[in-house]
Structure 1
Amino acid sequence: MTGKRLIIAALMLGLVQVGFLSWIIAGRAATLRNGKEVLLKIEPVDPRDLLRGDYIAIGNNISRIPVKLIANIPPGKFSSDDTSLVVRLKKGTDGYWQPTAAWFGQAPAPAGPDEADIRGHVAEGWDLRSPDVTIAPEYGIERFYLPEGEGMAIQNDMRVRPFGIKLALSANGTAQIKALMDGDKTLFEEPLY
């Protein structure tokens, strides 16, 4: 009887693990398929990861958020906590989305039809005292992996003409990179699965 219980427990554990991984993959695919599309301008950093190959490290127009955009900093608060940050984006005339406001925790109202919210994370210790200071939230979109041998060429091209990333944003502001853009041309698109 103990052998049967052990086999049943192992099968149940395996089913739970497969179910959990499927849930993660399906959630990412749902965001890529149904999320609101946002285009951000990017700038080059370093294109190589020894374990995963070529990538472009993405610095973009929401990588640094001026403290003056954060609407809910409590009086007398001098530095950030380890917390989430919601950044409200609005589409610019050039097609790229720009930050217009930010809040620690939650936005006070949903984004309008021509706006989008992206959720990031701010590490502890960023200076909040001066409106001229910027903080650097992480959104989980800081790297885009490319086929081997493509990273350096794209990195060099990024220095001479504008590139962007097309994001898909879920309803709660979680971002997934949907495509790497060279102007209006799609260079690489993320597969759903």
Structure 2
Amino acid sequence: MNAPSPSAPERGAAATRHPPLPKPHRQRWLLWLVGAQLLFVLAVAAAGYATGRFGSVVLLRTTPVDPRDLRFSDYVELNYTISLLPGHLWKGSTLPRRKDPVYIVLEPRAGVFEAVAVYPERPETAQGQTVLRGWVADTWRRSMRLRYGLERYYVPEETRRKLRRQQPLQVHISVAPWGQARISQVEVLPALRPR
């Protein structure tokens, strides 16, 4: 018994189907994907190394860290003294809005860097100044809260033992010339005495 021959529309649909990829082509595609992932990981590692090697180091202070946070997690949320800035430091022509990128000019004062100006675009700096990129988290009439992407820190065991009371930290941050920043070291400062 002969099978019925396919009609013209069925023959056209069969002709437009793509044949399966040959096995060597699939292997090449898989190798390309694995290679791209490996290059991405290496680029991230190289950028971190380059930031630490070629970046300028700035010292920032945090407000006191509550050690009770460490009971539930190995990470602590850092709230820098430059996270909440007065509105008079803003140098833009229009008011900043939430999620806007900003550039904070930092200047050393008594060994610690403090914010001296906030710009909507990367500004030129004077000798000794550093620019740190951030984002607007909130704005009010006379102040603004900024985030830097450096607010979460893994606390090593030896540092965790030192954090018994609410204590401020001094954070060493490497800022690369191209704007990338990362935490390079954290020191525990003496606890603030209640007044």
Query: Could you say which structure has the larger radius of gyration?
Result: 2
Q: Specify the code of the residue in structure 1 equivalent to 2:61.
A: K
Question: Which residue does 2:144 correspond to in 1?
Answer: 135
State, as a whole percentage, how many aligned pairs show the same letter.
Answer: 22
Question: Which residue does 1:181 correspond to in 2?
Answer: 187
Q: Specify the code of the residue in structure 1 equivalent to 2:155.
A: L
Question: Which residue does 1:190 correspond to in 2?
Answer: none
Residues 63-72 or 41-50, more deviating: 41-50
Aligned length: 168
Which of 47, 64, 67 aligns to 2:69? It is 47
Residues 1:56 and 1:23: Cα distance change in structure 2 (over 3 Å): same
2:146 counterpart of 1:126: no
Unaligned 5+ runs, structure 2: 1-20, 190-195
| Cα RMSD for the two superposed structures | 2.4
Question: Which residue does 2:113 correspond to in 1?
Answer: 97
Which of 98, 102, 116 aligns to 2:130? It is 116
C-alpha distance in structure 1 between counterparts of 2:75 and 2:185, whole Å = 13
Which of 165, 169, 172 aligns to 1:166? It is 172
Comparing both structures, which one devotes a greater share of its residues to helix?
2
Unaligned 5+ runs, structure 1: 184-193
Structure 1 residue 153: Cα displacement: 4.1
Moved beyond 4 Å, runs of 4+: none
C-alpha distance in structure 2 between counterparts of 1:126 and 1:175, whole Å = 23
State how 1:53-64 maps to structure 2 within 5 Å.
53-64=73-84
Q: Specify the code of the residue in structure 2 equivalent to 1:118.
A: L
Question: Which residue does 1:21 correspond to in 2?
Answer: 41
Listed one character per residue, the Cα deviations across residues 1-20 of structure 1 (whole Å, up to 9, x for unaligned) are: 71100000000011001101
C-alpha distance in structure 2 between counterparts of 1:40 and 1:168, whole Å = 11
Listed one character per residue, the Cα deviations across residues 115-154 of structure 1 (whole Å, up to 9, x for unaligned) are: 101001124x623xx3xx2211111110210235853742
Residues 1:149 and 1:178: Cα distance change in structure 2 (over 3 Å): closer
Q: Specify the code of the residue in structure 2 equivalent to 1:138.
A: R
